[in-house]
């Protein structure tokens, strides 16, 4: 089945990111057909909602008709035809690691606040998701089907989605009042130290029956497409991280990013109940400019035409585009407010009685399109992958930035993407190192918005002032931009003055001020920037806290400054704005805290790294190099790197008498065995690695 919107988008050649699942499904936000509902085709669906005092804005349902006549899809400029590089055979688990997978997943799921553990079995090419305590364990086994008509089916071989994720519908709890009315506070915690009243309605949590996990299969499975993907990933309950506010989880609130589009090219005074994800933003930006389309790689490793990026996971949010006038912006500013939950900002911009006055942001909301249910982020819903998803239109497992910190399998160490911004003084002195780190972080096939703008409209030429002038400020996807934070500081003239600014947001605004006041360069055709303080406020005090709302007032003032700068250049009315965030945020219950890392350590499973739900096992690979009849030459190596392991103990478990050997510096060792046995069982172990057992059938 294809939604009405998907049909319309396909008619004009735009890519629509549809998810098809063949499974046994519950009433959990998916639509299913076929075989009496037992096996069917499932995809994202919209659920309409009525307005709730939306301060002069009108509802525009997901099924509203859209005149697409102004979207002109041209022939592909560069039909590449390439296919997704499959992840190296190091991610996930193999048969050797199955015992450790079961032991570690059992340990995690003993925690009452743990929700699921997932892995990719590279030998069987299956995805496994486990949930629930051992006496009521649920297990989903999934595989990808054949790509057909631009979509890939996810085949559920065993288990039921609803047993692990009872509700997956993102189109719920979009209204602030409804959300607060749904909250419970079972242990009656108070957060007066964070500025809340003693009986504050905002101090609450969704009961388990109302917890929602949007697009869980898509978001988990694509994570394992990266060469640096973990061996396992786990998630806990939305309230169970033990701090004030948190993100990173699979649940609705931690994943619900802000999405507002305003100005030329977009509809006016509309609140949409359409579903959206962060991968949809980049192609929508390019479509708003009426950029030429190209051939390239669509979702799920399939070649596609009519794309706006050479690798594109998302769809164009055509329901937000205004086709009645064929207006197009001359400039577009994409501004990301880190960690800003859509439900909170929509409350302040759509309510007749907001808690804080945000006149400039409200002007954009009333003159544009507000997505009531925001846009769903990737998983894990951390900042670094969210920023790169917005800038590339790709899920984290496809663009390569998996989390705020993940394990580099080649380097055998932690990779921290925000080093690009946090260590700015170093990269100013060593600019080539910044590009080296970018190239290490971002998949080579990924095209960011700066690169796509230049491909579509030409490189900027200072002498002729032709081409697209692109600025990227305080963002990770800076490669290809004409104006960047790194280049600005490295210019010398204003460096000393700017380093006196302690806050990243103030630095960003100083860059914009200098940029827009410089008449030697044009106003950027496209500008992408981040304001980061909302994330810190949400983490310190929660997504609806007094601290967060104070920060919103500061943000609104900054937006007003941008308005003034654009107005002074005479281009304010020709400039469109896209406001978003990298993820959502959820308040946490201090009295109900998951203790997963401690349980993993207690299970005795060796790991290279545990961070933000990502688990990298430290395993051995054992191979019979030669069967000499009365001896076996064995090789022991690091399962992740292939490096030989010295001093590994190799023991024959099937021999009549104890036979053991220690590997040499090349990882080799000979075991004396009887030539009369048909199968030899060998165990290799090392103090810093998980042991491995090999069953060798003799020729």
Q: For the chain, what is the radius of gyration of the CA atoms?
A: 26
Show Cβ contacts of residue 3 under 8 Å, excluding neighbours closer than 6 positions: 18, 43, 44, 45, 46
Cross-strand bridge partners of residue 376: 256, 277
Residue-level pLDDT at 601 = 94
Residue-level pLDDT at 85 = 53
pLDDT band of residue 48 (cuts 50, 70, 90) is very low
Phi, psi of 105 (to 5 degrees): -70, -35
DSSP-derived 3-state class of residue 462: coil
Going by the DSSP 8-state scheme, the letter that residue 93 receives in this structure is B
Residue-level pLDDT at 386 = 99
pTM of the model: 0.89
pLDDT band of residue 5 (cuts 50, 70, 90) is very low
**606 has a pLDDT exceeding 60:** yes
Q: How far apart are CA 144 and CA 449, in angstroms?
A: 29
Strands (E) located in 38-172: 40-42, 58-60, 114-121, 126-131, 138-144, 152-158
Show Cβ contacts of residue 35 under 8 Å, excluding neighbours closer than 6 positions: none
Q: How far apart are CA 56 and CA 432, in angstroms?
A: 50
Task: Kindly state the tokens that stand for 606.
Answer: 């060796």
Element (H or E) spanning 176, and its range?
helix 176-182
Residue-level pLDDT at 33 = 28
Axis crossing angle, helix 359-366 with helix 546-568, rounded to the nearest 10: 70
pLDDT band of residue 469 (cuts 50, 70, 90) is very high
Q: How far apart are CA 409 and CA 548, in angstroms?
A: 37
Q: How far apart are CA 535 and CA 339, in angstroms?
A: 4
The model's pLDDT over 489-510, given as tens digits with 9 standing for 90+, comes to 764 333 333 233 335 788 889 8
Nearest to 619 by CA among 101, 117, 122: 101
Residue-level pLDDT at 120 = 98
State the maximum Cα–Cα separation within the chain, in Å, rounded to a whole number.
Answer: 90
Strands (E) located in 56-95: 58-60
**29 has a pLDDT exceeding 50:** no
Q: How far apart are CA 600 and CA 30, in angstroms?
A: 34
619-697: which CATH architecture? Sandwich (2.60)
Q: What mean pLDDT do residues 296-308 have?
A: 85
**324 has a pLDDT exceeding 80:** yes
Q: What mean pLDDT do residues 610-638 have?
A: 97
DSSP-derived 3-state class of residue 507: helix
Q: What percent of the chain has pLDDT over 90?
A: 77
Residue-level pLDDT at 88 = 62
Q: What mean pLDDT do residues 550-560 have?
A: 97
Q: How far apart are CA 342 and CA 172, in angstroms?
A: 13
**121 has a pLDDT exceeding 60:** yes
Task: State the chain's mean pLDDT as an integer.
Answer: 87
Nearest to 515 by CA among 483, 546, 492, 540: 483
Compute, in degrees rounded to 10, the torsion defined by CA atoms 330, 336, 340, 341.
60
Q: How far is CA 607 from CA 130, 225, 597, 603, 620, in A?
A: 19, 21, 11, 11, 12
DSSP-derived 3-state class of residue 9: helix
Residue-level pLDDT at 172 = 98
The model's pLDDT over 348-371, given as tens digits with 9 standing for 90+, comes to 999 999 999 999 999 999 999 999
Residue-level pLDDT at 300 = 74
pLDDT band of residue 112 (cuts 50, 70, 90) is very high
Q: How far apart are CA 53 and CA 301, in angstroms?
A: 44
Q: What mean pLDDT do residues 97-119 have?
A: 98
Residue-level pLDDT at 152 = 63
DSSP-derived 3-state class of residue 634: strand
Nearest to 580 by CA among 357, 279, 223, 328: 279
Show Cβ contacts of residue 164 under 8 Å, excluding neighbours closer than 6 positions: 116, 129, 131, 132, 138, 140, 216
Element (H or E) spanning 100, and its range?
helix 98-109
Lowest model confidence (mean pLDDT) among 91-95, 245-249, 335-339, 419-423: 419-423
The model's pLDDT over 180-210, given as tens digits with 9 standing for 90+, comes to 999 999 999 999 999 999 999 999 999 999 9
Half-sphere exposure for 375 (CA within 13 Å, toward CB): 33
**1 has a pLDDT exceeding 80:** no
Q: How far apart are CA 384 and CA 683, in angstroms?
A: 40
Residue-level pLDDT at 162 = 97
Parse the chain into domains and list their residue ranges.
Answer: 1-588+596-617, 619-697
DSSP-derived 3-state class of residue 562: helix
Q: How far is CA 604 from CA 1, 100, 320, 558, 638, in A?
A: 47, 9, 52, 51, 18
Cβ atoms 613, 380 nearer than 8 A: yes
Cβ atoms 508, 338 nearer than 8 A: no
Q: How far apart are CA 617 and CA 90, in angstroms?
A: 10
Tally Cβ neighbours within 10 Å of residue 59.
Answer: 16
Cβ atoms 29, 252 nearer than 8 A: no
Axis crossing angle, helix 383-392 with helix 281-288, rounded to the nearest 10: 30
Cβ atoms 378, 281 nearer than 8 A: no
**147 has a pLDDT exceeding 80:** no
Q: How far is CA 57 from CA 60, 370, 563, in A?
A: 9, 9, 22
**213 has a pLDDT exceeding 80:** yes
Highest mean pLDDT among 40-49, 489-498, 634-643: 634-643
The model's pLDDT over 517-532, given as tens digits with 9 standing for 90+, comes to 999 999 999 999 999 9
Task: Kindly state the tokens that stand for 351.
Answer: 């309510």
Half-sphere exposure for 587 (CA within 13 Å, toward CB): 26
Q: How far apart are CA 581 and CA 371, in angstroms?
A: 12
Cβ atoms 672, 659 nearer than 8 A: yes
Compute, in degrees rounded to 10, the torsion defined by CA atoms 351, 355, 361, 364.
10
Q: What single string gives the DSSP state of each residue in 269-284?
A: SEEE----BGGGHHHH
**78 has a pLDDT exceeding 80:** no
Q: What CATH number belongs to 1-588+596-617?
A: 3.40.720.10
Cross-strand bridge partners of residue 232: 119, 615
The model's pLDDT over 380-397, given as tens digits with 9 standing for 90+, comes to 999 999 999 999 999 999
Q: How far is CA 185 from CA 201, 251, 541, 591, in A?
A: 9, 18, 17, 10
- Specify the pairing of strand 232-236 against strand 614-617: antiparallel
Nearest to 174 by CA among 30, 275, 31: 275
Residue-level pLDDT at 304 = 84
Q: What single string gives the DSSP state of each residue in 669-684?
A: EEEE--TT-SEEEEEE
């Amino acid at each position: 089945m294809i939604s009405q919107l998907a049909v319309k988008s396909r008619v004009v050649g735009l890519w629509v990111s549809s998810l098809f699942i063949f499974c046994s499904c519950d009433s959990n936000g998916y639509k299913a057909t076929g075989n009496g509902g037992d096996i069917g085709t499932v995809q994202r669906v919209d659920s309409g909602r009525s307005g709730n005092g939306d301060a002069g804005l009108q509802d525009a349902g997901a099924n509203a008709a859209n005149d697409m006549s102004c979207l002109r899809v041209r022939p592909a400029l560069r039909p590449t035809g390439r296919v997704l590089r499959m992840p190296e055979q190091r991610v996930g688990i193999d048969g050797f690691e199955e015992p450790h997978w079961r032991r570690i997943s059992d340990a995690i799921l003993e925690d009452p606040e743990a929700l699921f553990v997932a892995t990719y079995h590279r030998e069987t090419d299956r995805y496994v998701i486990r949930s629930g305590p051992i006496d009521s364990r649920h297990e989903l086994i999934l595989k990808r089907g054949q790509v057909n008509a631009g979509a890939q089916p996810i085949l559920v071989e065993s288990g039921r989605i609803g047993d692990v994720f009872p509700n997956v519908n993102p189109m719920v709890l979009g209204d602030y009042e409804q959300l607060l009315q749904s909250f419970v506070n079972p242990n009656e915690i108070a957060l007066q130290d964070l500025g809340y009243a003693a009986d504050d309605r905002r101090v609450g949590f969704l009961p388990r029956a109302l917890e929602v996990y949007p697009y869980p299969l898509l978001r988990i499975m694509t994570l394992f497409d990266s060469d640096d993907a973990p061996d396992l990933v786990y998630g806990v309950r939305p309230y169970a991280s033990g701090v004030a506010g948190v993100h990173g989880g699979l649940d609705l609130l931690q994943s619900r990013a802000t999405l507002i589009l305003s100005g030329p090219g977009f509809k006016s005074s509309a609140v949409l109940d359409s579903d959206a994800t962060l991968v949809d933003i980049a192609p929508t930006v390019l479509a708003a400019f009426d950029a030429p389309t190209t051939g390239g790689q669509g979702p799920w490793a399939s070649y596609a035409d009519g794309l706006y990026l050479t690798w594109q996971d998302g769809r164009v949010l055509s329901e937000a585009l205004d086709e009645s006038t064929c207006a197009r912006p001359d400039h577009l500013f994409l501004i990301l407010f880190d960690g800003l939950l859509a439900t909170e900002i929509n409350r302040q911009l759509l309510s007749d009685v907001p808690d804080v006055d945000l006149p400039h942001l409200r002007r954009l909301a009333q003159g544009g399109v507000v997505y009531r249910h925001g846009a769903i982020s990737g998983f894990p819903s951390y900042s670094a992958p969210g920023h790169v998803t917005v800038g590339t239109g790709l899920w984290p497992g496809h663009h390569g930035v998996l989390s705020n910190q993940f394990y580099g399998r080649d380097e055998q160490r932690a990779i921290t993407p925000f080093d690009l911004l946090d260590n700015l003084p170093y990269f100013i002195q060593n600019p080539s190192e910044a590009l080296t780190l970018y190239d290490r972080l971002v998949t080579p096939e990924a095209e960011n918005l700066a690169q796509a703008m230049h491909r579509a409209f030409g490189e900027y030429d200072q002498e002729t002032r032709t081409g697209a002038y692109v600025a990227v400020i305080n963002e990770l996807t800076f490669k290809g931009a004409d104006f960047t934070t790194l280049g600005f500081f490295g210019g010398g003239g204003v460096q000393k003055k700017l380093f006196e600014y302690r806050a990243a947001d103030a630095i960003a605004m100083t860059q914009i001020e200098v940029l827009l006041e410089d008449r030697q360069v044009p106003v950027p055709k496209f500008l992408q920037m981040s304001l980061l303080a909302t994330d810190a406020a949400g983490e310190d005090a929660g997504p609806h806290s007094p601290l967060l709302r104070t920060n919103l007032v500061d943000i609104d003032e900054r937006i007003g400054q941008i308005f003034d700068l654009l107005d002074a250049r005479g281009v304010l009315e020709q400039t469109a704005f896209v406001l978003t965030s990298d993820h959502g945020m959820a308040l946490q219950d201090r009295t109900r805290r998951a203790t997963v890392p401690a349980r993993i350590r207690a299970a005795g499973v060796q790991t290279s790294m545990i961070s933000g739900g990502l688990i990298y096992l430290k395993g051995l690979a054992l191979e019979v190099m030669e069967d000499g009849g009365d001896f076996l030459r064995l090789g022991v190596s690091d399962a992740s790197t292939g490096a030989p392991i010295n001093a590994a103990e190799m023991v024959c478990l099937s021999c009549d008498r104890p036979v053991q050997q220690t590997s040499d510096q090349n990882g080799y060792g000979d075991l004396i065995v009887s030539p009369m046995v048909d199968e030899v069982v060998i165990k290799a172990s090392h103090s810093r690695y998980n042991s491995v057992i090999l069953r060798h059938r003799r020729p």
